[in-house]
Chain A
């Protein structure tokens, strides 16, 4: 209780309260604009948050991360264009509901489902804290290495149908991380005798290039679009009542969101897919799915909003980010010398609790904001896409240049922007590059530390947690090989048939 109170006290500062308001409202607005999304916004804001107090900077970024999906549901439902990538499934049932004249009902349901998912996962996070505080110290160098390795494997295997592309991108990310001076012996690696490569390639420069600048290029090159949506009349409160009628679907979807959020590399899409499939299979009206089913909408929105809080678990407890957005947040921790991982729960539990409470409060702020401002947000949806591209490119400059005032960084970011543009055009995965960079760094350090104490190969997994992680890695690889073999056989049969 004392820790809860001291965590609450950390939030009771004007700058943290302002950060909560800016993050939550800003996140909704960013989410509501198709083509921007939280990754772009966080990448741009990241360097600006370095000068802020860690709790203030993280609150802004968490606010954007946690609230963008609320906003993303608006264009998904009203104009069949997801505001953020994870709102894509919302279009399946949200837009048909709009076409049936039920736009207000769909929005109201989406808001209440998102709110339930968000609150559910924060409560899980708070309840899990004592458990995490016990488990986290069991993770030494070997365990963290194995957890990071598992993260890489999951990131690659989670890209079904694109496993090879995800694998090459993850390896590319690991390679980029190795450029520059090696961390122990300080020997040069792939610097080509260029002084600007000696300090390595900065993660933020890569993030800004791959997410923000590439998105600006996409918007500038593509045809100009200015979507339109009819205004909504009347209150949006009745969704909570309807959500209660589907409490089983909402609870299961939120649970999937929490579980998938905790596993590095899995995230929103898998959580949504599992929730949606479950909702359809157990529904009394399965034929309505994809044609305007309220249960489908609830499953999608609850699951995706339950992920952000859960994704903080591996980040805070082990220092291992599960996806690109938490990887970006990791750099805020490092800049302020707050090292996420087992020690954080022992030394700064009040800080961790403050982050949880911030997530809880921002969900409340967002729902209040949305219930009264949806029509105002419809104006933002109308911003022409090429105009947005100009704005994102202007903002990207601040992000890259303010790091070290280096034109070289800007050139590298522009190069990664072109690469990101090509990858997005080809529908190839970008996130494995970022996770490869972050997890590659963790793996290199932790493997070297742990190998100094390992005499025989089996010593590496002679501790219980290490052994369990090793078994999970084998299980994941085994399941992947089995699924790939089944797919291959099915294809062969289709070709012969």
Chain B
């Protein structure tokens, strides 16, 4: 059964359907190398049964979805949408920099700097907004690390702090 034909197909749909299908076919072709098939074991108890079933489903649904999109898509609009997808990568990089920096300079300072810089990057310049951004970052650290004691290690720079202050910072920030 095919998807109900919609009046408007989102641009980028065809590219996504193609990428998903290629990805699924590649994974399916890797199945013999990536799972073991055991002798004297029923099909449903095979370690490869569920990966195989899910990949066949991905290829089957993916192929049908691709065929419906190819009929309905406007090829010219596909690539403009991909440019928007690429913009999300910038923020993924911001996020990963934040992840890398936290164990170095500590959760509190990293969060304050990250909030402030990303708020600036998003075009906010008013001091009130920048302060609010840092306030939100501080409240986040206070709530999760200080009050709820979630597992986030202290920064490497804390090693250079005096004894009393170091354990206070490791414990709370």
Contact = CB atoms under 8 A, between A and B. Distances in A.
Interface of A: 47-48, 51, 160-165, 167-168, 170-172, 174-175, 177-178, 182, 184-185, 187-192, 213, 216-217, 220-221, 224, 384, 386-387, 389-391, 393-398, 401-402, 405, 407, 410-411, 414-415, 417-418, 421-422, 425-428, 436, 440, 443-444, 447-448, 451, 480-481, 484-485, 487-488, 491
A220 B91 contact: yes
- 8 tightest CB-CB pairs across the interface, nearest first? A171-B57, A168-B61, A167-B61, A484-B1, A175-B54, A174-B54, A402-B150, A182-B47
A394 B51 contact: no
Nearest to A216: B91
Contact of B98 (A51, A175, A397, A444): A397
Contacts of B124: 384, 386-387
A185 B54 contact: no
Contacts, number: 208
27 contacts: A161-B3, A164-B64, A171-B55, A171-B61, A172-B58, A174-B53, A175-B58, A188-B36, A189-B35, A213-B95, A387-B122, A390-B136, A391-B115, A393-B94, A394-B114, A394-B136, A401-B99, A402-B150, A418-B88, A421-B88, A426-B12, A426-B13, A443-B50, A480-B1, A485-B1, A488-B1, A491-B5
A220 B42 contact: no
Interface stretch (B79-87, B155-163, B164-172): B79-87
B125 to A, nearest CB: 13
Nearest to B57: A171
A189 B88 contact: no
Contacts of A170: 57
Nearest to A420: B88
A384 B122 CA distance: 11
Contact of A191 (B34, B87, B96, B111): B34
Nearest to B66: A164
Contacts of A188: 34, 36
Most chain-A Cβ atoms within 10 A of its Cβ — which of B61, B81, B114, B137?
B61
Given A171-B61, A448-B44, A487-B4, A405 B10 contact: no
B3 A164 contact: yes
Please report whether the interface of chain B is mostly helix, strand, loop or mixed according to DSSP.
helix
A164 B65 contact: yes
A216 B151 CA distance: 23
Nearest to B136: A391
A94 to B, nearest CB: 26
B22 interface: no
A48 B2 CA distance: 43
B38 A185 contact: yes
A401 B4 contact: no
A418 B102 contact: no
A contact patch SS: helix
B91 A217 contact: yes
Given A397-B98, A451-B44, A426 B3 contact: no
Given A164-B61, A187-B35, A401-B152, A410 B3 contact: no
B118 interface: yes
Contact of A394 (B42, B137, B150): B137
Given A217-B92, A387-B132, A394 B140 contact: yes
Given A396-B95, A488-B1, A491-B5, 6 more contacts: A165-B65, A170-B57, A175-B54, A389-B91, A443-B50, A480-B1
Contacts of B133: 387, 390-391
A164 B2 contact: yes
Contact of A398 (B53, B65, B144): B144
